[in-house]
Structure 1
Amino acid sequence: MADEGRSTLPLPDYDHLPIGGLESRVRSLTAGEVEELLAYERTHADRLPVTEVLTSRLEQLEAGAEPTSGDPSALRPEQSTGRSGSPVSPATSAQPFGPPPHGTPDQRGKPKGDRA
């Protein structure tokens, strides 16, 4: 079931924004829109770093700051680095090695006299 309030938020992808992207993207919002996001955050995830960013921006706006266009290069969830999965491959794996000469818990070492 989709959350009714989520579709009406000033930033439609708000729930998926990394905090670095959020800091830039809220700069384009009015005080009322920031208050709306702050109320949504407090009733849902209530993440301290996010509420601090929103509260700080709201204080800036109330002190006379004007909304700006924000940073268009801010991190957005729809942007990806194109990498997925593990970077480990047979080419980057460590070389296999034998047990140490003193043995392992499941494989006891041989006394020196028994070596051939």
Structure 2
Amino acid sequence: MADNGRSTLPLPDYDHLPIGGLESRVRSLTAGEVEELLAYERTHADRLPVTELLTSRLEQLEAGAEPTSGDPGALRPEQSQRHTGSPVSPATSPQPHSPPPHGTPDQRGKPKGDRM
């Protein structure tokens, strides 16, 4: 199975980067590397926010911006974020205001004529 050039991209994990992580990590790339990613993006997923981001960065570099180190703490797919579950608990859940209109097994719904 071919990797379609993914392993030769300037950012090897490019396909799995969230846009927030991509924005920070492309700062370290040269104009040629950004062009390479842009060409890859256009021929593969062609995601508008990503092409706009890469085009903007390419314009900055062509206007004289220098590659920087980027943010090493940027979101990376290889950094698993541990989720400990929902912060919602029975203690923080609101109490129901009334039973559903169809009733429950222990509390039958009322016919419409009996409602006030």
Per the shorter chain, which TM-score range? 0.7 to 0.9
Q: Which runs of 5+ in 2 are unaligned?
A: none
What TM-score results when the alignment is normalised by the length of structure 2? 0.75
Larger Rg: 1
Aligned length: 116
Segments of 4+ moved more than 4 angstroms: 84-116
Q: Specify the alignment match of 1:58 in structure 2.
A: 58
C-alpha deviations, 1:25-76, integer Å up to 9, x for none? Answer: 0000000000000000000000000001100000000001111110111111
Q: Normalising to structure 1: TM-score of the pair?
A: 0.75
Please state how far the C-alpha of 1:2 moved relative to its aligned partner: 3.8
Change in Cα spacing, 1:106 to 1:18, as seen in structure 2 (3 Å) is same
| Alpha carbons of structure 1 residues 105 and 10: separation in structure 2 relative to 1, 3 Å | same
The CA distance in 1 between the partners of 2:20 and 2:44, in whole Å, is 20
Deviation at 1:80, TM superposition (A): 2.1
RMSD: 4.4
Quote the sequence identity (%): 91
